Amino acid sequence: MPLSKKQIFDFLEEKYSLYNNVSFIENDPVQIPHLFSKKEDIEISGFLTASIAWGQRKTIINNSIKLIKIMDYAPYEYIMNAKKQDYKLLDGFVHRTFNTSDCLYFLQSLRNIYKKHGGLENVFSKKESIEDALIHFRKIFFEITPEKRTYKHVSDITKGASAKRLNMYLRWMVRKDKRGVDFGLWNKISPANLFLPLDIHTGNVARKLGILKRQQSDWKAVCELTGYLRELCPEDPVKYDFALFGLGISEKF
């Protein structure tokens, strides 16, 4: 027998409270931006970490730390002031299909964003809806023209991508619940407008609970699942990312 909406609400609230605390950071890539206190360092390290956040979490964390070390634990200063010889330290950096040339472009594009567009928060908050913001961000990110291969590393929701990594990054930057995981750095975007970072774990759990019918994990599925979660908590729907992810990866629900 399917669970009622009240039963699902109570269950997800319980799991949200269980998993959304500082102990979550220890095994999650969000630990990387938590190394910093300066807004720009948090934004940049968080964006770079989220950008390579696919595969095993341990590998994501290890490769993110490698990248931060190359930037001498000063990501904002590095992207703004790095010289050609500084980029040589990136030779050989690779995370799955994200290679040195992709990394170089990401750093150069971030420099362009901070020098010409007022920073990451400013770019993401230029549009009223998150959908439009994701489309706008991708346009700005690629305005200095990368190699063709690099385009695949920033999701295009106009082609149906779920944009899991970008939505996760926005969750990190925007949510303000004082539980110690998400930063709540950005004030120009409301948590109510965020979309769930849909991955294999959250998708599988949501389908088992009956709150996601679509089998394909694409943007339509993101909209369907986030729409349901907005009915449970209109002001902060993606807080249930902790519940769904925790159920999937920790409890093998």
Q: What pLDDT score was predicted for residue 183?
A: 98
- All residues at 6 or more sequence positions from 189 whose CB lies less than 8 Å from its CB, including other chains: 121, 124, 125, 130, 133, 170, 173, 174
Per-residue pLDDT of the chain (253 residues; tens, 9 = 90+): 688 999 999 999 999 999 999 999 999 999 999 999 999 999 999 999 999 999 999 999 999 999 999 999 999 999 999 998 889 989 999 999 999 999 999 999 999 999 999 999 999 999 999 999 999 999 999 999 889 999 999 999 999 999 999 999 999 999 999 899 999 999 999 999 999 999 999 999 999 999 999 999 999 999 999 999 999 999 999 999 999 999 999 887 7
Other beta carbons within 10 angstroms of residue 185's beta carbon come to 18
Per-residue confidence (pLDDT) for residue 1, from 0 to 100: 67
Query: What number of residues does the chain have?
Result: 253
Nearest to 220 by CA among 168, 162, 166: 162
Cα separation, 53 vs 70, whole angstroms: 18
Give the per-residue pLDDT at 84: 87
Phi, psi of 181 (to 5 degrees): -100, -65
Provide the residue ranges of all domains of the chain, joining segments of one domain with +: 5-249
Distance between CA 146 and CA 236 in Å, rounded? 35
Distance of CA 149 to the CA centre of its chain: 21
What DSSP letter does each residue of 104-129 carry, written as one string?
Answer: HHHHHHHHHHHHHSS-HHHHHTSSSS
